[in-house]
Amino acid sequence: MLYLAEQSWNGLRGTVLSLRSKRTELCFVGRNVRMRFARNIELGRYTTIGDGAILSGLGLNGLRLGTRVNVGAYSRLIVGTDVARPGSHIHIGDGCGIGEYSSIGGSGGVSIGRNTIIGQYFSAHPENHNFKDLSRPIREQGTTRMAIYIEEDCWLGARVTVLGGVRIGKGSVIAAGSVVTRDVPPYSIVAGVPGRVVGSRRGGDDGGA
């Protein structure tokens, strides 16, 4: 009974919040969820946003969550933070799940394919600080933006970090705690810091490990 009451409140909050966004749909939103630049945010039908999450659509192509996406509590999905230099996009496909306390930046663009599941404390960084000029502080040297693509039906464990310019192929599995710094072929099994292919989900293929 308590669960049904809580879901009813979440549904009401979600419907009210979606009125501010690009498209109005039935979705479920927890307590203390904040949404910035809401007109650039698209929430899919039956999407669930956990307590305390922050969503910001400040970007050229905004923030888009597909149908039945689940965003864990206290996660941050921030397309951009600078009005003078807005980000690109964060697009998350149908049926994806993002674990609690995750952080996804969209400055260079992040696309996550449908039915991908991601553990807690995930982070995606499609922007890197420039640091070659020793005569200037790093914070004054600007950044380089590179898109991240995570294809459909992947599984990324807890505390995985993905850096800019990386494409993770369809059906891949990334072990908890890995830092992915280069492209991953489809159906790979990746582990380590930096992440390397240690196997393949395809029978008889060692994944080049």
Residue positions annotated with a catalytic role: 129
The one-letter amino acid code at 95 reads G
* Residues 153-166: b if buried by 16+ CB within 10 A, e if exposed: bbbbbbbbbbbbbb
Instruction: Kindly give the pairing relationship between strand 188-191 and strand 196-200.
Output: antiparallel
Instruction: Kindly give the pairing relationship between strand 70-71 and strand 48-49.
Output: parallel
Which residues, other chains included, contact 96 with Cβ-Cβ below 8 Å and sequence gap of 6+?
66, 69, 70, 112, 113, 114, 115, 116, 117, 118
